[in-house]
Amino acid sequence: MVSEMVDHALTEKHIAGPEVLGFVFTYPPGYLSCIAWGDRDFDAGGDGHLLSFLTRAEVAKELDVFVRRATTARLVPFARGDNGDVLFCFDGDAGGEIYAIDLASGTPQVISTGFKDFAAFINGYRSRMGLPTWQVTR
């Protein structure tokens, strides 16, 4: 029961629906468990994932402020990284690719991360930050 409440609370907090995105999007497997694990790790004194996962309200703001200025592609922002200078986005057309929007440059630029899988992206990012591998749980 507690797990269901946590999942519901995370869903309400972090999953943006069509009313925010303007289209239907299915978040990748392990997305909410990744956020939950990172929160628990951080609370226990760890580094989490060194990513700041966006809330539904932050997704709406990032769409208006950066994503729609940078591209006409259907992207779903989900986290900030690299000291807030990069906005990571899912491919909203179900291609699975993960993109980065460089916010440090004068004009936001969309760049492919080269990852087409959420777990691979998380572990690639963690590796780049010197953190151990994360195991996907569902």
Dist CA 106 CA 102 (whole Å): 9
In order along its 138 residues, the chain shows pLDDT tens digits of: 334 445 788 889 999 999 999 999 999 988 998 888 887 776 666 566 678 899 999 999 999 888 888 888 899 999 998 777 899 999 998 778 999 998 887 788 899 999 999 999 998 888 888 887 877 765
**Residue 138 domain-assigned (yes or no):** no
Q: Is residue 105 part of a domain?
A: yes
Residue 38: the pLDDT is 81
Residue 62 resides in a domain: yes
Q: What is the pLDDT of residue 112?
A: 93
State the Cα–Cα distance between residues 104 and 121, nearest whole angstrom: 21
Q: Would 87 be classed as within a structural domain?
A: yes
Instruction: Give domain status of residue 137, yes or no.
Output: no
Range of 41's domain? 2-128
CATH classification at residue 23: 3.40.1580
Question: In the prediction, which pLDDT does 21 show?
Answer: 95
Provide the sign of the torsion angle of the four alpha carbons 103, 104, 106, 110, taken in this order.
Answer: negative
Helix (H) or strand (E) holding 102: strand 98-102
H-helix or E-strand containing 79?
strand 75-81
Q: For the chain, how many structural domains are there in total?
A: 1
Pair 15, 24: CB distance under 8 Å: no
User: Would 136 be classed as within a structural domain?
Assistant: no
